[in-house]
Structure 1
C-alpha cells in the first residue's frame, strides 16, 4: 500500500501547516471572467485576506441513472473561509440533488469545514436517496452481463469532529448511520438467492447500521476542491453495535492516503501527478450486503472511473489511482487529465492482491471559478466491459 505523508516531528505543536504552493488567481481566467466581459459587468472589488466571501459554482446537467433512464442533476459547490486565509484552509459544501421527475431522486449534502486557524475540522455527509443501481454479487461471483438490478430508499447521516493535535494531524470521532428501506430487486431473482449472502438481503427488508467511529486525518491541502499541493490521509475505525440500532454487530476499517506532487514551482501553472490509494475491510461476516466495501462507495464516492457503480464488492477491497494534470492554456482556463486505476477485491473467484481490475481514461478541465479553484470536470473512463462519461464540479480527488 502506498502511504504518502510528510514528517512533522520537528514542527511546533501550535504551528499551522500551509501548503507551499497556492494558485495565483490574479493571472488566471475562468468562465465568470468571460461572462463579465461578454455582458460588460463591472468586477466587484476584491476582499482582503480576512474576508469571508463565499464562492459559489453551479452546474446543471442530464445523465443516465443506474437501472435505466435519465435524471436532471444540479451540482452546487460553495468554497469559503472561516478565518484568515493566511492560516486557515478553504472550507467547502457540495449539494448535488437529482431527479427523473418520477420515482428517482437524491438529496446529498457533503461538507468539509475548517474552523479558524485550522484548530478543528468538521466532516459531514447527509443523504436521502431513492437509488436504483446494479450489483454483481461478491468478488467475481457473477459475470459482467449477469447483474441484478436493485432499488431502495437510503438515508445516511455521518458527522465527524476532529481537533488538531499537531501540525496537519487531527484526531476525533463521530456518528455514522446508514438506513436502507424496502430493499428489492427489479428482477424475479431475490437478492439473497442471487448472492447467497444472508445479511441485509431479505426481500422487501429494511437494514440499519448505526454506530460510532474513531477518526484520524492528516491534511496539508489548502484547498480540497482542487488541491494545488500537499498530502492527505484518512483513517476511520467504525463500530456498529446492536444496542445503537444496528441489525447486526459489525466493524469496519477504512484507510486512505493521497499525494499531490507538482513538477513546477510556477504558482500560475498546473502540472501535477496526483496519487491515491485506500484499503477498506470489515472484520466479521455479519456486515449487511450493501455495507460491504464496494467500488464507488468510498468516502467521497469518487472511485472507479471506467466502471459502473458498485461493480466490485467484497469483505476487503484495495484501490489505487494515479492522475496526471496539466494546463492547456497559459491563463488556466483549459486543462486536461489522464488517469488509470486498479481495484482488487476478495470473494468467490477472486483473491485480494491477486486478481486486479483496471480502468483508465482522460478528461478535460474548464476553470469555472478561479477564486475557489473549481473546475468543470468532464471525464471519459473505460474498462474491459464498460465505458462512460462523468461530469462534475471540482476535481475527482
Structure 2
C-alpha cells in the first residue's frame, strides 16, 4: 500500500513539473525574452568597475569587439567557514563569461572556478562550465571537482536533531560532462557521462561506525564509485544564467550507473529541475524587479546507491539549494524542493539591490516523502560587480530551525 501511494505521489510531482514546463513553453519568444532586454543598454547602470575607475581616475576605454565577441571577468576573494573545525578558509570565486556567437542569437557562456583552502588538509578545486555555441546550436555543460571535503551528516530522513550529527571526511573526484543539441527553439536534448569517486570515507570520530549511524549499507566506508551515462533534456529561455532575466528553465537528467562502467552497484537516478522568472516591471527592463521560482525533484532507484550520492539538500548541481539550512542536513532516497525569491534594485543605477527568499524541502528515509517539511528563509544584499555580464556580489543571510548562516557568492542563487 505504501509503495502504491509513493508511486502516486511520484507521478503527481512529475505531472506538476511538466505542467510548469508546458505553461512556460506556451509563451512566445517575444514575451519570454523581450528585444528590449536582449539589447539592454547598460550605460545608465553603475558597477564596481565604474567606481574603481572614478576613484583611481582611470579613463574609460571603448570596448573592443571582434566578430561580435565580448569577454567579461570577475574575481571575488573571500573568507568563509569550512565544516569540521580549523576555523576559516580562503575562498576565491572567479567567473569568466563570453559570447561565442552573435549576441542576439547566442546565450552568454560562463565558467566558474571557486577554489578554497583552510591552510590545512581541507581544500577544494571546483570548475563549472556552461558553454553555448554560436546561435545556440549546441550547449556543453560540465562540472569538474577535486575535493578534500568534510561534511556533517545526520543519516537518512529527518528524525535526528541538529546537534545529533557526525563529521564525515572523504576525498572526492567528480567529472560530469554533457553535450546537448538544439531540436527546437529553446529545447535541447543530448547525452553525457557522470563520475562520482570518493575515497577515505569515514567518520571524524573513530568511535562512530557510519553504517550503524546512517542505518545504510552502501558507500559508508572506504570508497565508493558511481560511473554512468546521463540522458538530458533542457528547456532554457534565459539569456544569462549568471543573472537570469524573465524567462524559464527546465532540466531533466536520467542517470544510469551500471557496474560494467565501474560503479559499485547497478543503480539509477532522476533529477527534474524547473525555474521561472517573472518581471514585475517589464516597461523598465534595466531595473531589477523580479519574482523567481525554483523547484526540483530528485530520486534514486534500486535502493543501493552510495550513501553520499543519494539526494541531499545543498547537493543540487550548483550547491545552491537550501539557503539557511546546513548542507547535507536532510538526505534521503527522494527529495522535493521549492524556493521563491523577490529581487529588487535599491538604487536607480542598479549598483545596490536586495532579495527576500524562502524555501522548503522534504525527504524520504525516516518516513515517506511529504511527511515532514523543513522551511528556511532569509534576505540578501546585491552589489553590481560587472554590469556587462550582469554579475552581482550576493551577500545572503539565511536561517532555519537551529541554524543560521551568512553566504557570499558571485551570481544569483538560481
TM-score, normalised to structure 2's length?
A: 0.92
Output the CA distance in 2 between the equivalents of 1:50 and 1:324: 37
Aligned twin of 1:250: 267
Q: Give SS of 1:27's match.
A: coil
The 5 Å alignment of 1:123-272 reads 123-187=141-205, 188-202=207-221, 205-265=222-282, 266-272=284-290
Output the CA distance in 2 between the equivalents of 1:345 and 1:107: 29
The structure, 1 or 2, with the larger RCO (C-alpha pairs under 8 Å, 6+ apart) is: 1
Aligned twin of 1:19: 33
How big is the shift at 1:193?
1.5
Aligned twin of 1:109: 127
- Unaligned runs of at least 5 residues, structure 1: none
Output the CA distance in 1 between the equivalents of 2:269 and 2:121: 32
The 5 Å alignment of 1:1-397 reads 1=13, 3=17, 4-5=20-21, 6=23, 8=25, 19-20=33-34, 21-22=37-38, 23-47=40-64, 50-68=67-85, 69-187=87-205, 188-202=207-221, 205-265=222-282, 266-348=284-366, 350-397=367-414
**Alignment deviations for residues 151-186 of structure 1 (CA, whole Å, 9 cap, x no partner):** 010000000000000011000010000000110111
- Unaligned runs of at least 5 residues, structure 2: 1-12
Output the CA distance in 2 between the equivalents of 1:18 and 1:24: 18
Aligned twin of 2:7: none
Output the CA distance in 1 between the equivalents of 2:197 and 2:31: 38
Output the CA distance in 1 between the equivalents of 2:372 and 2:280: 33
Q: Of Structure 1 and Structure 2, which has the larger fraction of its residues in helix?
A: 2
8 Å CA contact retained: 1:49, 1:85: no
How big is the shift at 1:147?
0.3
Moved beyond 6 Å, runs of 4+: 15-18
Deviates more, 1:279-288 or 1:350-359: 350-359
Output the CA distance in 1 between the equivalents of 2:233 and 2:109: 18
Q: Give SS of 1:358's match.
A: strand
User: Structure 1 residues 264, 10: closer, same or farther in 2, change over 3 A?
Assistant: closer
How big is the shift at 1:76?
0.3
Output the CA distance in 1 between the equivalents of 2:301 and 2:378: 34
8 Å CA contact retained: 1:16, 1:118: no
Deviates more, 1:134-143 or 1:166-175: 134-143
